[in-house]
Structure 1
């Protein structure tokens, strides 16, 4: 049996904790034994979402086979947040096995000296400050998680699920991780190098309802031959108006948006073993030539 010890700090984000915990809990159902435990400097740890969590206050002795994971906490900034005393940081530093973090939890690893000379990541809102606080570390920006030896760091909130699935896949194989992801109704197990913000999110920060409806249509049918005339009929306006509204709201044309969705999905398929040709046809391209050109762009 392998232990997974979660080190909790006041203000912990529930999903930072619950996502990875559910992955390892699900592994038990597959006959992959994991013992989950929760430690903190206080017995009742308030979460950012308002509920309190019970934790042991005695830091356990660890073996190289154990995993210590620090979930993130509410942190508009890192400085002055996530209080951890010297004993907890010394315990982290002395652990001979794998240490992982989600979101702001990377700051705890930094204070323990575990990021020095290593590659790491965190939530995109905290990347600059993490780099400033730990200049001996190399912060890899806008990725889901980074593995550098025994130190594994991930981006914000839901990326902890991706991190935990990766650790299961590394130890037990990708099929086991895929079964857990299916049980959790996770749409797809993402790779560490995937971007934190998908194309869907990057171009949705506007308030134009018409364009949001058009984006819904493109996203539902991005593998099809969707013409500007199709979008115009759906919006009840001219093709010229569609292009003007879409470009003003998102900064790109409808065609470019469809291409981004296709490329992003193709990248995911390639990362999971598909050939460029196979991925290109799966997302609606006739062959791999256009996909190669768009990837190079």
Structure 2
């Protein structure tokens, strides 16, 4: 697949991937393959480099070896630096990794991380006062270790200034598609995604996973019954009085249980479950109107507000990002 042969000459973006022994393979290979496929479609748009403290090779956490690694001192200016993650970074990182990243990032216009690679950026102070994300499993540790960073555990990727952070492992593919779109436009990003047979770019604000899966099992019997009821039938009558009555507790007590165990209110939690359901209904081909009704959100406007509040995107844009070119919104 290629874009129009009449495309004007483009400037090549140099992208340096910071790698090291123990790095997670997919954190490197996923984004790297996105840029490679973009190059196949539009020749010369990216030059990719593997960078480490010394040239040669590094061994990934899976035991596979990455060859052709360039020493940081020999790289020269790059446009983008991508720091790949590894589980051990949560407990600390070698000084040489910090030096390599700082050297590579010094003249780069954009610095990105995949998964726990965000810990490197945070350790260097790059993310102080900025919004950032990482793998959901490491988000709490990142927030504790780097209190100056505004950690958002429920996003796939976040851009704040010249820094772009992404969630765990496969989210690096979403991050790379976002970089392609920022550099060369949505058409190339969509064409690249189709070649990779992946979603045409999940919005950065989309949850890393469903709120129903994210919510830990309730410790109290009343709360467990309520959450199971809502997940089983998001479109049901789930007003606070109804939920409290079904659990045989007062509305105030039920609210207290939600705040204590889930750190949210019953209303907000129900809305998130309904939003998850609406997202799936849209992807299944239902209209915005029907998705709103079947999910329990009710009206088009309520659905749009829920998308804006939780995902920072409109339902139409959500569908555009997920659907193949040529598909359109269905009408009821």
Q: TM-score, normalised by structure 1?
A: 0.71
What's the secondary structure of 2:182's corresponding residue?
Answer: helix
Q: Does residue 24 in structure 1 map to residue 35 in structure 2?
A: yes
Alignment partner for residue 67 of structure 1, among 62, 80, 84? 80
Comparing 169-178 and 15-24, the one that deviates more: 169-178
TM-superposed deviation, 1:113: 2.1
Q: Show structure 2 runs of 5+ residues with no match.
A: 1-11, 218-223, 236-272, 311-332
| Distance in structure 2 (CA, Å) of the matches to 1:268 and 1:135 | 37
Q: Show structure 1 runs of 5+ residues with no match.
A: 206-245, 270-276
- Residues 278 and 294 in structure 2, CA contact (< 8 A), matched pair in contact too: no
| Distance in structure 2 (CA, Å) of the matches to 1:136 and 1:30 | 41
| Distance in structure 2 (CA, Å) of the matches to 1:9 and 1:251 | 47
| Distance in structure 1 (CA, Å) of the matches to 2:36 and 2:295 | 43
TM-superposed deviation, 1:112: 2.2
What's the secondary structure of 1:186's corresponding residue?
Answer: coil
- Within 5 Å, which residues of 2 pair with 1:136-147? 136-147=148-159
What's the secondary structure of 2:234's corresponding residue?
Answer: helix
Q: TM-score, normalised by structure 2?
A: 0.64
TM-superposed deviation, 1:18: 1.0
Match of 1:56 in 2: 70
| Distance in structure 1 (CA, Å) of the matches to 2:152 and 2:274 | 26
Task: Work out the number of aligned pairs and report it.
Answer: 248
| Distance in structure 1 (CA, Å) of the matches to 2:92 and 2:280 | 39
| Distance in structure 1 (CA, Å) of the matches to 2:298 and 2:109 | 45
Alignment partner for residue 288 of structure 2, among 279, 283, 288? 279
- Residues 17 and 83 in structure 2, CA contact (< 8 A), matched pair in contact too: yes
Residues 113 and 181 of structure 1, relative CA distance in 2, 3 Å threshold? same
Q: Does residue 13 in structure 1 map to residue 24 in structure 2?
A: yes
Residues 286 and 193 of structure 1, relative CA distance in 2, 3 Å threshold? closer
- Residues 73 and 104 in structure 1, CA contact (< 8 A), matched pair in contact too: yes
- Within 5 Å, which residues of 2 pair with 1:1-297? 1-32=12-43, 33-42=45-54, 43-54=56-67, 55-59=69-73, 60-63=75-78, 66-75=79-88, 78-81=90-93, 84-85=96-97, 87-198=99-210, 201-202=213-214, 252-256=230-234, 259=274, 261-265=276-280, 278-281=287-290, 285=294, 289-290=298-299, 293=302, 295=306
What's the secondary structure of 2:70's corresponding residue?
Answer: coil
- Residues 110 and 163 in structure 2, CA contact (< 8 A), matched pair in contact too: yes
Deviations 1:77-108 (A, max 9, x none): 61224663453143045134101000110111
- Residues 5 and 68 in structure 1, CA contact (< 8 A), matched pair in contact too: yes
TM-superposed deviation, 1:71: 0.9
Deviations 1:7-29 (A, max 9, x none): 00221111111111111101111
